[in-house]
Chains A and B, each alone.
Chain A
Amino acid sequence: MKKFDIFQLLKILIPIAAVFLALLLGSVLLLFIDVNPLEAYRYLIFGNFTNKYNTAEIFVKSTPIILTGLAFTFAFRTGLFNIGGEGQMFAGAMAAVFVGLKTGHLSPFLTISLSLIGAIIAGAIWGLIPGFLKGIFGSSEIIVTIMFNYVALYLISYLVDKPLRESIGFYPQTDLIGKNAFLPYVVPNTRLHIGFVIAVIISIIVYIILWKTPFGYRLRAVGFNPDGAEYSGMSIKKSIIISMAISGALAGVAGFTEINGIHHRLLDNFSKNVGFDGIAAALLGSANPAGVVVSSILLGMLQTGSNSMQRGVGVPANIVSIIQAMIIILVLAGNMLRPKLELYMRRKEKVIE
C-alpha cells in the first residue's frame, strides 16, 4: 500500500513544485527590473494578511474562480473543453442583474434565490448552445465557446450602453440592484459575502454528482471513451449537451456571486479574465473539485497580493499574470513527465529490493 501512496502524492507534488518553480522563475524577472525578489514576494504572500479586509479579499477574489474552475472541471471530466467560462459567467451576470433590478423589492431570500436561478439558467443556455452544436453537428466546443465569450462580452457592452443604462445616464452601467438582492456578508467590515460558502458547497455537489451518481458515471464514461459508452447504450449526444449545460450553469453562478455579492450592478469589463483564471485553477487543481477550491484560493491570494506588492516595492501587478501563466505551463509539463517519473521511481524500488 505504501507504494500506492507515493504515486498519489506525486499528483499533489507536481502542482506544488510548479508553483515554487514559477515563483523562482518570476524572481529572475524581478531581478531584471532591479527588485529584490524576496522583498517582493514578502509583499505578495504576506501583504494580504496585514488586516482583516485584505485577508477576506483573498476569498472574495477566489469565489468566482472556484465556480468557473468547477465549470471547466465538469466539462473536462466529461471529455469536453469548455473555454467559455467567461462568457457563461457574463450570461449569468446579465440574468442576475436583470432579476435583481426587477425583483429587488421582494424579500431577500426570494430575490436572491430568483437571481441565482436566473444566473443558472442563463449560464446553462450559454453552455447548452455550444454543447448542442457539438452534439448534433460535431462542431468544436472549444472554438464555439471561445466565440461565445465575445458574444456575451459585447452584449453586456450594449446592454449597459443602451437598454439598461443607469437612470441618470452618466456611466455605461446599470442601476444598482435592489438592496434585498445583495448577498449577505459573512465577515463584518469586509467584502466577503456568502458567495464563497455557496461556491464551496457547489464544489461538494459537483464531486458527488460526478463520482457518486449513475448520472455522473454516464457523463464520465462518455468523456473517457465515447465509443465504449455508445456500445453500452448511452447516448453520446445527450451527454455532451447535458454536460455543457451544467458546465455553463456552474460558470453562470460565478456571474451571480459577482453581481449580487460585489458589484451590485452590471458594468462594462467587470471581473475580466475570471473565466480564464478558472481554467488555470482547474488545471492546477488536477480537475478535481477539492483541488479547484485550493488552487482558486491560491490564485486569489496571488492576485490580491500583487496589489500590495505594487504598493510596497513598485512592481507592476501584471507580473503576477506572468507567474500564473508559468504555473500553468509547469503543471502541464509536470503532468507530461509524470509517467516517466513513476517509471523511474518503480525502477528504483527494484534496486532497493
Chain B
Amino acid sequence: MNTILRMVSISKYFGTLAANEDVNLEVKKGEIHSLLGENGAGKSTLMNVLYGLYQPDKGEIFFEDKKLNLRSSKDAIDLGIGMIHQHFMLVPVHTVLENIIMGMGKEKGLVIKEEKLKKEISEIAKKYGMEISLDSKVGNLSVGQQQRVEIVKALYRGAKLLIMDEPTAVLTPQETEELFTTLKIMAEDGMSIILITHKLKEVMFVCDRVTVLRDGKVTKTIDTKDTNELELARFMIGRELMPIERKQEYKVGEPILEIESLSHEGEKGEKSLNDISLTVNSGEVLGIAGVDGNGQKELAEVIVGLMKASSGTILLDGKDITENTIEEIVKMGVGYIPEDRHKRGLILDFSVSENLILKDYYKKPYRKTLFFDFNVINKHADDMISKYSIKTPGRHAEAKKLSGGNQQKVVVAREIHKLPKLLIAVQPTRGVDIGATEFIHQEIIKAKEDGAAVLLISTELSEINYLSDRIAVIYKGGIVGEMDKSDFDENRIGLMMAGAN
C-alpha cells in the first residue's frame, strides 16, 4: 500500500502552549488510521492543520506526494480531504440533497438539475451501503442518518481522505456498527480514513493502524494487530490504568429516591418524560443508559427541582419533594453533577475557591457575620485541590482557565465531599481525559460505598456497565427496561436504546 498523506514534524504553538510538537503522521491508501489521545492531546489541532484551518508554525504536509500549502479548508476540500466534525455542519431546514450540493457551485444558475444530481449521489450512497432519502429535511433525520449525509457529502466532493472527529459519540451501538461497516467498505475501495477517538475498543475493532498523541507529541504509531487496549492506554496516558478499588462487602440500604409515574412536558406540550418509575437505594448505583436527548437531562432536572413535573411524585428519603424548589432540594443534601459544567456546574468567571463554595457560600464557617471568612474559604479550597488532585495554577485561578477534566473535578469535589444522601451524576466524564475519568469513577464508587444513593445518567455504555449495580434504559422519555448488573448485555441494551423491548 502506498502512502497518501505524510505530515512531517508539524509544530503548532498557541502562546507558550505547544499544541503539537514535532508530530509525524503517515496515512496509507485504503487504511483506517486512528488518531488516539486524550482531550487536549493535540488531535484536533493536528487535524485542523491538515484541514487548512490552522497554519502550522513548523513542518510540512505531503498529500499524494505533493507538498501542500493550505490556506483554507476550501483548499483542503479541493484536494480531496474531507472532514466530518463532531457537530454536524448541516442546515436542518434544507433537504438532504440541498445540503449535499450546498457550496459546490452546483446550486448556481437558474435551475438545479435535480434528477441528474440525485442519480449521482444515490450511486455513491449505495456503493458504500448507506441508505439516505434525498428529499427528507435534514432536521427530521436521526443523528445517525445525519452523519451519513455528512459522509455522502464528503464523498460526493471527491474526498480521498476522510477525517472523522469522534464519530461514535452520538450513536447507539447498532448505529456505530453500521458506521464501521460503511467505513470498512470505503477503506476496501481505496479510501483513507482518519478516525479521531479516545475509545480504545473502537480503535482495536475498526482501525488498521493507530497513532497515539500525548501532550502534543506522538508517543507511538503501531499496527492494531500488534497491540492491545491496555498497551494503548499506557501510550495515551503515560502510565498504567488503575483498576477501581471496590470494597467486597457493602450493604444496599433503604430506598432514598423513589420516583412514581413521573411525567414532564416541554414548552410545546410534548412529553419529554413519560410515566417514569424508579427507585434508588442507599449504597447502590442505578445507571440510566440511553442515547443523548431521550429525556436524561429532563429527568435529572425534574428531580432536583429545576423543572416542574407535570404529574407523578418524587420521594426523597420518604418525603415528597415533587413541588420543592431547587433551593430546598439542594439544602436537603442532594449532590448533582450536571451534564453541562460550563452552563450549570460552574461560574466560569469565578475562581476555583469561589466555585468550591457555590452551594455553601452563605453558610458558616465560610461566613463570619455579614462577611466572608477568607481564611476558611482559602483553606477549604487548598484542601479540596490537594484531596481531589485538581490541577490549577492556584486557588485564585478563574475556573475557565482550567482544563475540562480539572473543571469537572471541581464540580465533583464540591458535590461529593459533603457526603450527599443522593448523588445525581449526569455524564460525569463527558469531555474529560482518561486520568480524570478514572478518578471521578473512583469517587462515585466511594460515595456509593459511603452510603449515597447514586443515580448515574450516561450515554457511555461502558461507563454504565462499569459503575452500576442496576441498569435502566431510557428511550423517548420512558424507561424501556431495567436489569441487574449481572444481566448486562450490550446487544440487548443497544436495542433498547433504540426503542425495542
> Is B354 in contact with A231, judged by CB distance below 8 angstroms?
no
Q: How far is the CB of A234 from chain B (nearest CB, A)?
A: 7
Q: How far is the CA of A217 from the CA of B344 in the complex (A)?
A: 16
- Selected from A208, A217, A350, the residue in CB contact (under 8 A) with B16 is A350
Task: Name A212-263 residues within 8 Å CB distance of B.
Answer: 212-215, 217-218, 220-221, 224-225, 227-235
Q: Hey, which chain B residues are within 8 Å of A233, CB to CB?
A: 325-327, 329-331, 359
Cβ-closest chain A residue relative to B16: A350
Question: With A230-B306, A233-B330, A346-B15 given, can you name 9 additional A-B contacts, CB distance below 8 Å?
Answer: A213-B372, A214-B367, A221-B347, A231-B306, A231-B338, A232-B330, A233-B326, A234-B327, A350-B13
> Is A225 in contact with B361, judged by CB distance below 8 angstroms?
no
Q: Can you show 16 pairs from A to B with CB atoms below 8 A apart?
A: A212-B371, A214-B361, A214-B362, A217-B354, A218-B361, A224-B348, A228-B358, A229-B347, A230-B326, A231-B326, A231-B345, A233-B331, A346-B15, A346-B16, A349-B16, A350-B13
Q: Hey, which chain A residues are within 8 Å of B371, CB to CB?
A: 208, 212-213
Q: How far is the CA of A218 from the CA of B360 in the complex (A)?
A: 11
Q: How far is the CA of A331 from the CA of B350 in the complex (A)?
A: 24
Q: How far is the CA of A68 from the CA of B498 in the complex (A)?
A: 59
- Selected from B14, B338, B358, the residue in CB contact (under 8 A) with A221 is B358
Q: Hey, which chain A residues are within 8 Å of B13, CB to CB?
A: 347, 350
Query: CB of A31 within 8 A of chain B?
Result: no
> Is B344 in contact with A227, judged by CB distance below 8 angstroms?
yes
Q: How far is the CA of A213 from the CA of B369 in the complex (A)?
A: 9
Query: What class of interface size applies to chain B in its complex with A?
Result: 20 to 34
Q: How far is the CB of B333 from chain A (nearest CB, A)?
A: 12
- Selected from B15, B343, B354, B361, the residue in CB contact (under 8 A) with A343 is B15
- A-B complex: 8 closest residue pairs judged by Cβ atoms: A346-B15, A233-B330, A233-B327, A231-B344, A214-B362, A232-B358, A224-B349, A232-B359
Cβ-closest chain B residue relative to A227: B343
Q: How far is the CA of A45 from the CA of B329 in the complex (A)?
A: 59
Q: Hey, which chain B residues are within 8 Å of A349, CB to CB?
A: 15-16
Task: Name A312-353 residues within 8 Å CB distance of B.
Answer: 343, 346-347, 349-350, 353
Q: How far is the CA of A353 from the CA of B336 in the complex (A)?
A: 44
Cβ-closest chain B residue relative to A218: B361
Q: How far is the CB of A32 from chain B (nearest CB, A)?
A: 43
Main secondary structure of the interface of A (DSSP, over half): helix
Q: How far is the CB of A37 from chain B (nearest CB, A)?
A: 40
Interface residues of B (CB under 8 A from A): 13-16, 306, 325-327, 329-331, 336, 338, 343-350, 354, 358-359, 361-362, 366-367, 370-372
> Is B370 in contact with A225, judged by CB distance below 8 angstroms?
no
Q: Hey, which chain A residues are within 8 Å of B14, CB to CB?
A: 343
Q: How far is the CA of A343 from the CA of B15 in the complex (A)?
A: 6
Cβ-closest chain A residue relative to B343: A227
Q: Hey, which chain B residues are within 8 Å of A228, CB to CB?
A: 343-347, 358
Q: Hey, which chain B residues are within 8 Å of A343, CB to CB?
A: 14-15
> Is A213 in contact with B370, judged by CB distance below 8 angstroms?
yes
Q: Hey, which chain B residues are within 8 Å of A232, CB to CB?
A: 330, 358-359
Q: Hey, which chain A residues are within 8 Å of B16, CB to CB?
A: 346, 349-350, 353
Q: How far is the CA of A343 from the CA of B361 in the complex (A)?
A: 34
Q: How far is the CA of A122 from the CA of B341 in the complex (A)?
A: 40
Q: How far is the CB of A56 from chain B (nearest CB, A)?
A: 35
Q: How far is the CB of B329 from chain A (nearest CB, A)?
A: 8
Q: How far is the CA of A50 from the CA of B344 in the complex (A)?
A: 57
Interface residues of A (CB under 8 A from B): 208, 212-215, 217-218, 220-221, 224-225, 227-235, 343, 346-347, 349-350, 353
Q: How far is the CA of A214 from the CA of B330 in the complex (A)?
A: 17
Q: How far is the CB of A200 from chain B (nearest CB, A)?
A: 21
Q: Hey, which chain B residues are within 8 Å of A217, CB to CB?
A: 354, 361, 372
Cβ-closest chain B residue relative to A231: B344
Q: How far is the CA of A231 from the CA of B329 in the complex (A)?
A: 11
Q: How far is the CB of A33 from chain B (nearest CB, A)?
A: 45
Cβ-closest chain B residue relative to A222: B347
Q: Hey, which chain A residues are within 8 Å of B338, CB to CB?
A: 231
Contacts known (A213-B371, A214-B366, A215-B370); A350 close to B347, Cβ less than 8 A: no
- Selected from B15, B331, B344, the residue in CB contact (under 8 A) with A350 is B15
Contacts known (A212-B371, A231-B306, A231-B336); A225 close to B331, Cβ less than 8 A: no
Q: How far is the CA of A233 from the CA of B306 in the complex (A)?
A: 9
Q: How far is the CA of A328 from the CA of B345 in the complex (A)?
A: 35
Cβ-closest chain B residue relative to A3: B16
Could you say which of B331, B336, B358 has the most chain A C-beta atoms within 10 Å of its C-beta? B358
> Is B350 in contact with A224, judged by CB distance below 8 angstroms?
yes
Cβ-closest chain A residue relative to B358: A232
> Is B350 in contact with A221, judged by CB distance below 8 angstroms?
yes
Q: Hey, which chain A residues are within 8 Å of B330, CB to CB?
A: 232-233
Q: Hey, which chain B residues are within 8 Å of A347, CB to CB?
A: 13, 15
> Is A218 in contact with B362, judged by CB distance below 8 angstroms?
yes
Q: Hey, which chain A residues are within 8 Å of B362, CB to CB?
A: 214, 218
Q: How far is the CA of A214 from the CA of B350 in the complex (A)?
A: 13
Q: How far is the CA of A265 from the CA of B321 in the complex (A)?
A: 57
Q: Hey, which chain A residues are within 8 Å of B367, CB to CB?
A: 214
Q: Hey, which chain A residues are within 8 Å of B326, CB to CB?
A: 230-231, 233
Cβ-closest chain B residue relative to A344: B15
Q: How far is the CA of A177 from the CA of B413 in the complex (A)?
A: 60
Q: How far is the CA of A234 from the CA of B331 in the complex (A)?
A: 11
Cβ-closest chain A residue relative to B329: A233
Cβ-closest chain B residue relative to A350: B16
Cβ-closest chain A residue relative to B14: A343
Q: How far is the CB of B326 from chain A (nearest CB, A)?
A: 5
Q: How far is the CA of A37 from the CA of B325 in the complex (A)?
A: 63
Q: How far is the CA of A229 from the CA of B350 in the complex (A)?
A: 12
Q: How far is the CA of A215 from the CA of B306 in the complex (A)?
A: 22
Q: Hey, which chain B residues are within 8 Å of A221, CB to CB?
A: 347, 350, 358, 361
Q: Hey, which chain A residues are within 8 Å of B347, CB to CB?
A: 221, 224-225, 228-229
Q: Hey, which chain B residues are within 8 Å of A235, CB to CB?
A: 327
Q: Hey, which chain B residues are within 8 Å of A225, CB to CB?
A: 343, 346-349
> Is B372 in contact with A214, judged by CB distance below 8 angstroms?
yes
Q: How far is the CA of A218 from the CA of B358 in the complex (A)?
A: 9
